[in-house]
Structure 1
Amino acid sequence: MELYEKLVNGEEKLSLVGLGYVGMPIAVAFGRKIKVIGYDLNAKKVEQYRAGFDPTREVGDDVIKQANVEFTSDETKLKEAKFHIVAVPTPVNDDHTPDLRPVEGASCTVGRNLTKGSIVVFESTVYPGVTEDICVPIMEKESGLKCGVDFKVGYSPERINPGDKVHRLETIVKIVSGMDEETLDQIAKVYELVVEAGVYRADSIKVAEAAKVIENSQRDINIAFMNELSIIFNKMGIDTKSVLEAAGTKWNFLKFFPGLVGGHCIGVDPYYLTYKAEEMGYHSQIILSGRRINDDMGRYVAENVVKNLIRADIAVKTARVAILGFTFKENCPDTRNTKVIDIVKELREYGIEPVIVDETADAQEAQRLYGVKLADRSEVKDLDALVIAVAHEEFSHMTREDIAGYFKPEHAKKVLVDIKGILDRKDYLTQDYIYWRL
């Protein structure tokens, strides 16, 4: 009997290694169909799941409470599983080189608890070759088993979009790959249990790895183009969003928008591809050019805050500035690789210590990663400038009266920076506001 059938019959278990924004929803989805072990080395996070609390807000507390998943921080429980899915983050170092420590660590953990007849599928975003050239040797060393004989491997890139309630695991076509046809068939059948949109069988593991890394690189480049247009049009005194809305009436115009590009995917993945290209003697031109533009947008926003304070005849060094939003994207608590911190750092260069408010963000994470203490909304008062940095749902309901109440009443000009353009621009093109957006 093949592994797929044993999983369906309840004779074998599936494990999910890494219970973050990607891994946890996968574990919950499979838990509705087969026996699942959800492993994470973060014991505190595991306890939260066991208590029915979803810190990622990806599926919600009610779903977690009902999840048919055995959450654990005991790695030896992995010995009970035969099908392993690894979904750990793959960040970059300060010099933008790949930080493979999480995926290497996960490979060690799986290897130590690997049993004969297992299949290991990696979902972490990597450059082509990592699964077979780095992860497999680690697992062989730790387990004493031989890949291709005692266990098999595959790769299926994650496509979950944190905070997106429409494009979910079940509704996105899943790329799957395996080291041989038999393994590919087994992996495809297992994922078809939960992916309603179906699977796409890639030609090889390297093809699947490459497909994932270019998906986000393409998006990064397109946003970089929009950011460059924003810089140009701002110099011309033209509203970028108005230009894009006009151009978007053509059927084949790609509807991207300027913004801060952070997070653990779009702002990171291109560096994995360019790193591998550099190793092979090719220096990327388009990809790295786009990265430079996007990485510089936080500084660009801060500079425009300062310029507009000067236009309003407000002293820069003593200016009271509030920033609404600190996460890397809207309606998601994740602050990892947020580019809002670049705005904060640049404002500090001008002697401004901004008040940062984000009720959606993971406050403990913000403190741990950046030393940033998030403030209460009640502290947003007596402002000289307001920056709406993230398009959280909670900010979209602010009225003109709400915003006016945040500023010092004596100001003839209120500096309002609406990075994502969530407000109606026409409401603020008045004599008492200096309104600016990307």
Structure 2
Amino acid sequence: MNNLYSQIVNQKAKISLVGLGYVGMPIAVAFAKKAQVIGFDLNKEKVKLYKNGIDPTKEVGDDVIKNTKVEFTSEASDLKKAKFHIVAVPTPVNEDHTPDLRPVESASKIVGQNLTEGSIVVFESTVYPGVTEEICVPILEKESGLICGKDFKVGYSPERINPGDKVHRLETIVKVVSGMDLESLDVIAKVYELVVDAGVHKAASIKVAEAAKVIENSQRDINIAFMNELSLIFHKMGIDTKEVLEAAGTKWNFLKFSPGLVGGHCIGVDPYYLTHKAEQLGYHSQIILAGRQINDGMGRVVAESAIKLMIKNKKDVANAKVGIFGFTFKENCPDTRNTKVIDIVNELREFNIEPLVFDPEADAEEAEQIYGLKFASEDEMNELDLLIIAVNHDVFANQNLNYWLDRVENKRVIMDLKGMLNRDELESLNVSYWRL
């Protein structure tokens, strides 16, 4: 197995990427510059787009996809041609916030059915400590008939790709790597060093690497929850949260987080993986779950604040026309899965308000499929009783003030969840302005 690395470098052994989403596809493209790569995804339509040089994720762009040497496929049997498998499938949570391991179990089954002797399988999906060795390895063994440690080896290297971020990329973020033993760790580290310019950090064990990933986003989640709680308190005090944070941020060791909606596949999900495992071991999380509760409730806070604002401004709430700008889980990214903007939509519906939603960056087909939501056109976002800026896409941030003012009726009411606009300027124009 030691010579697997040289076989990969000399293009005699292939790397496979299982799962070609926002995480897997950029990894496949990066490795294809140095090795032979098979990019596998069950979604035939997605694979067809990649083969036609189209990047539906907008992570690397159509030109890069057109020119990449990745062998895109939806045929699982093609995985037999690879010796180094990287699994990068989503790990969501169920409605009751318990981990949904079905995607990673299904991927393990597919890889197992096509696993050959002398291979290494590395998991990148976010999981709680123990999943790789206790859940994935038995599936790989059962499906392949091979023995882990003897016929094949496993490792774990948590993904750290930040969708929509053009600065923090696979190549520029230190990669945590782990292996089941020193031999596999050495090979896995060397393979990732081919593409990660920032270098690798060798974790002491697979469980340590799994734990490191799951706490990275849990820490961020807790910090944002603290900001959201401060926002709730300061609103009651009549103090502007952004102004408070700007003042506090002048201290060298003040952590610069902001209040906001916490969606996506990581920050709003990973803490539940950690607390689920803790519960199994008899420990009930207090800080982590408290943070989750606050962040999960922010859609309701925004909707209720919207109703209060309209009443205060003598708007006819029952017939109000509300427009929401932005629907994706984060800026400059087409992904609508796990967006918390849907919470605002659903809460407004409780008041019999059907808001219009406009998002030029979002995957409209995906939003309709998942949420049954049809986006409004930009032209429809006019004569609004209330305007809500929910996502700070560049396309919104680059608009001048009149773009927003011209869209709201008479007594103008604007909610700016990201604090993009200038409060003093708006208030001098008699705009009723609210931000988190």
TM-score (ref. length: structure 1):
0.99
Extract unaligned runs of 5+ from structure 1.
none
Separation (CA, whole Å) in 1 of partners of 2:348 and 2:136: 42
Instruction: Trace 1:289-308 onto structure 2 (pairs within 5 A).
Output: 289-308=290-309
Q: Deviation string for 1:362-409 (max 9, x for gaps)?
A: 00110011111011111101110000000001111222222121122x
2:236 paired with 1:238: no
Partner SS, residue 153 of structure 1: strand
Residue in structure 1 matched with residue 432 of structure 2 by the alignment: 434
Question: What do the CA deviations read for 1:80-132 (whole angstroms, capped 9, x no partner)?
Answer: 00000000000000000000000000000000000000000000000000000
**Equivalent residue number for residue 145 of structure 2:** 144
Conservation of the 8 A alpha-carbon contact between 1:386 and 1:415: yes
Give 2:282's aligned residue.
Answer: 281
Cα separation, 1, equivalents of 2:406 and 2:395? 17
1:28-427 equivalence runs, <5 A: 28-408=29-409, 411=410, 413-427=411-425
Give 1:431 deviation, angstroms. 5.5
Q: Distance in 2 between matches of 1:118 and 1:25?
A: 22
SS in 1 for 2:318: coil
Deviation at 1:315, TM superposition (A): 1.2
Distance 1:35 1:431 in 2: 60
- Between the aligned partners of 2:420 and 2:354, the Cα distance in structure 1 is 24
Which letter does structure 2 place at the counterpart of 1:417?
M
Partners of 1:177 and 1:202 within 8 A in 2: yes
C-alpha offsets along residues 249-302 of structure 1, whole Å, 9 cap, x if unaligned? Answer: 000000000000000000000000000000000000000000000000000001
Q: Distance in 2 between matches of 1:147 and 1:374?
A: 49
SS of the equivalent of 1:317 reads helix
Q: Does the Cα contact within 8 Å between 1:13 and 1:34 map onto a contact in 2?
A: yes
Residues 127-167 of structure 1, C-alpha deviations (whole Å, 9 max, x = no match): 00000000000010000000000000000000000000000
Residues 185-216 of structure 1: per-residue CA shift (max 9 Å, x gap): 00000000000000000000000000000000
Distance (whole Å) between structure 2 residues aligned to residue 161 and residue 84 of structure 1: 22
Q: Return the alpha-carbon distance in structure 1 between the equivalents of residues 413 and 300 of structure 2.
A: 17
How many residues in Structure 1 have an aligned counterpart in Structure 2? 435
SS at match of 1:310: helix
Q: CA separation in 1, counterparts of 2:136 and 2:336?
A: 28
Q: Is the 8 A contact 1:400 1:427 kept in 2?
A: no
Task: Check conservation: 1:15, 1:38, Cα contact below 8 A.
Answer: yes
Query: What is residue 23 of structure 1 aligned with on the other side?
Result: 24
Q: Is the CA contact (8 Å cut-off) linking 1:154 and 1:176 kept in structure 2?
A: yes
2:176 and 2:403 mapped to 1: Cα distance? 46
The one-letter code matched in structure 2 to 1:105 is S
Q: Gaps (5+ residues) in structure 2?
A: none
CA distance in 2, matches of 1:431, 1:201: 57
Distance 1:406 1:398 in 2: 13
For each residue in 1:330-358, what CA deviation from the matched residue of structure 2 results, as whole angstroms up to 9, or x when unmatched? 00001110000000000011111000000
CA distance in 1, matches of 2:429, 2:189: 61
Query: Percent identical across equivalent pairs?
Result: 71
